Structures are given as C-alpha cells and as structure tokens.
A and B are shown apart, each in its own frame.
Chain A
Amino acid sequence: MLNKIYDWVDERLDITPIWRDIADHEVPEHVNPAHHFSAFVYCFGGLTFFITVIQILSGMFLTMYYVPDIENAWKSVYYLQNEVAAGEIVRGMHHWGASLVIVMMFLHTLRVFFTGSYKKPRELNWIVGVGIFGVMIGLGFTGYLLPWDMKALFATKVGLEIAGSVPFIGDMIKVLLAGDTTIIGAQTLTRFFAIHVFFLPAALFALLAAHFIMIRRQGISGPL
C-alpha cells in the first residue's frame, strides 16, 4: 500500500533523487562508532540537533497553555506544570533540554576544534556555527524570563545590565530588549516572548540550514 502510494507520487514528481540527495550518503569508517568506539565524539553535532528538535516540539506544545502576560505568566506555567496531564514532563523536557543543548553544542565545538575540522575549506561552517552558538545563548537568555518568577526577573535584570555595558549603543540595546527605559515589566515579557518564540528560531533555522548544506557539500572532514 505505502509502496504503491510512493510509486504513484514518484512517477509524477520524481522524488527519489531528492531524498537520495538528503539521506543517502556514505558514512566514513573513521566517524562510525561501530568501527572505532572513540568515534562517538562525531555524534555530538547530531545530538545537538536531536535535542534542538525536542526543544522546538516541546516549546510548541508549551505555548498551548503559556501566556506572556505579567499577571498570568507565572500562573499559566504553574498550571501547565501541575494541573495538565504530562505537563511536568513537557516542561521538564524544555527546561532540561535547554541546558543539555548547550552542553552538546559545547562538546560538538570541542570535537570540531580538536579534530581540526574548522580548517580550510570549512572555515565558513565554523563561522556559521559561532552564529548558531550566539542564537542558542540568546534563546537561553530570553527563555529564562518567561516563567516570570523571582529568579527569572533578577537574572534578566543582570542580563540587561550586561547588554547595557556594550560601548556606545549599550543603552539602546537595553531599551530595545526591555521595552522601557527603567521598568522590567509587561513590555519586557512580551518582547522576550516574541524574540524567544519567533525571531531567534527563525534565525536558528536559517543558520542550521546553512550549516547542514555546507556539511553535505563538503563532506565530513578526514581522519586524524
């Protein structure tokens, strides 16, 4: 049945080359943990992506209950965690995954560094990777405020002071993030929500696409 559907579509759209391009490629021996167990270090990039997918999915589901409003944000988080079935698990996935994605990304960076994979011709992919790192840190920073508890508020206060310490344009960046010159409040929360849920993920998708296209174009770097 499935085969027939596939053949029917393939006959009309010739989709086989498309998915072959995406999925069908050699995995060299030196990156295959089945050959050399130490090659597991080559899994960290894929694991980072895997956790990123979990973050995107769990985040999408969290917005079904969350409201970015200073009266109700904390209450909605409390509700979705304690009253909704599996809420503790879904929020837990997003909470722990946020830390894990940074850890995995760091390990991936170390692997790339110590295997020298950033060298010519892969310099551009390292640069894009640094961009992804920045976006991930931004996602962590903006997501931290959303539960609107005391820890979130004070962490954001400190984070905004750090943003404000940028030479010349620091104050502008601070107001742009906080939405007000002095108050960390209603406008800060809606802004951080918008940045966390729309702007940074959009940037992340673009950078990840560039990261993966380059990797398929250039192949995995050779053995040490």
Chain B
Amino acid sequence: MSNNRVSRRQFLNYTLTGVGGFMAAGMLTPMIRFAIDPVLQHKGAGDFLPTSQKVAELTDTPVKVSFSFEQVDAWYKSEVSAMAWVYKEGDKVIALSPVCKHLGCTVGWEGSPSHKNEFFCACHAGRYTKDGGNIEGTPPQGPLDQYEVEEKDGLLYLGPIIPNTLVKK
C-alpha cells in the first residue's frame, strides 16, 4: 500500500476530528461573540450637554462646573452627575476632565496647599499644570483630557471628552 493512501482508521480519525471541530466551533462561536460584544459595540459621539455655568462669569481661575445627564448602562438608566474644571484663557473657554491620568482618581485645583496654580491628585500626589499638562516626576503619564465646549444663550455646554490639545510636547 502506498503512503498516500488513507487507511480506514485514518479516514475515521479525520472525519470524526472534523465533525467534532465543527460541533465545538458551533457551540463556542456564539458564546464568544456574546462575551466580547461590548468590545465590538460602537458608540455614537456624545451630544453637547447643558450646564448652569454662565460663560460671562468665567475667569482665568478654574472653577468646578457640575452637570448631569441621563446615562444608559445596558438595562439601567440613571441620572449621572459629572464635573469639569473650567476657566478662560483670553477669550477661549477651556474645560478639563478631572479624571487623573494615573489611575483615575479625581484631581482638584490647588488641591494641595503646597502646590499653588496646579491641579493636584490626592491619591498618589500627581500634579498637572493649569493647561492640564502632567508634571514630570509625578505619577501621571499624560495630560488631563479636555471637554469640547460650546456656548449657547450665554450658558456653557460640554461635549465629548477629547485628548488634551493645549499641551505641546
């Protein structure tokens, strides 16, 4: 018998392995797709959300602007409050996300008495300059994120969070 011939035993092995493979794949594919769904879901860009902050009252000192929006978390809808650090640079309104780029704590403006004119994260003493730039030698590896901003009827509207555009590196 030549080597190329498939024996009865080999044939059965191949067919059973093949069929078994298809059955296993048929079971696993839906389960895996089910599990990774959140990774593959696309989220539309967020709308601009109104705040109660009057743009005219902003100064060059960052103030805490709180706002709330309806958050849809799968089957759970809720009213969520969030905040931004907002100030004016000349005529331009700048809104920074307070989420520390180290491990996600909340930073405060002049949050530490020993560091004036800086954002400070109390968790691991991360520090940022006023434009959100992370200060070398403190834990954060990048600058604070920014909110897109809009003005409507004199009120400040906050949009999606974008990477910091103010810090030049």
Contacts and interface: CB of A to CB of B under 8 A. Distances in A.
A162 B76 CA distance: 26
Contacts of B76: 70-71, 185-186
Main secondary structure of the interface of A (DSSP, over half): helix
Contacts of B41: 181
Interface string B124-165: 000000000000000000000000000000000000000000
B104 A187 contact: no
Contact of B104 (A161, A179, A181, A183): A161
B26 interface: no
A175 B104 CA distance: 15
B43 A187 contact: no
Contacts of B104: 157-158, 160-161
Nearest to A159: B103
Contacts of A175: 38-39
A180 interface: yes
B38 A181 contact: yes
A206 interface: no
A181 B42 CA distance: 10
A186 B43 CA distance: 17
B68 to A, nearest CB: 15
Interface string A186-207: 1100000000000000000000
Nearest to B43: A181
Nearest to B76: A186
B16 to A, nearest CB: 24
B69 to A, nearest CB: 12
Given A185-B73, A185-B76, A186-B73, A180 B38 contact: yes
A176 interface: yes
A179 B74 contact: yes
Contacts of B38: 175-176, 178-181, 187
A172 interface: yes
B71 interface: yes
Interface in B70-97: 71, 73-76
B36 interface: yes
B35 to A, nearest CB: 8
B114 to A, nearest CB: 24
Nearest to B101: A161
Interface of B: 35-36, 38-39, 41, 43, 71, 73-76, 102-105
Given A158-B104, A175-B39, 5 more contacts: A71-B76, A158-B105, A179-B38, A186-B75, A187-B74
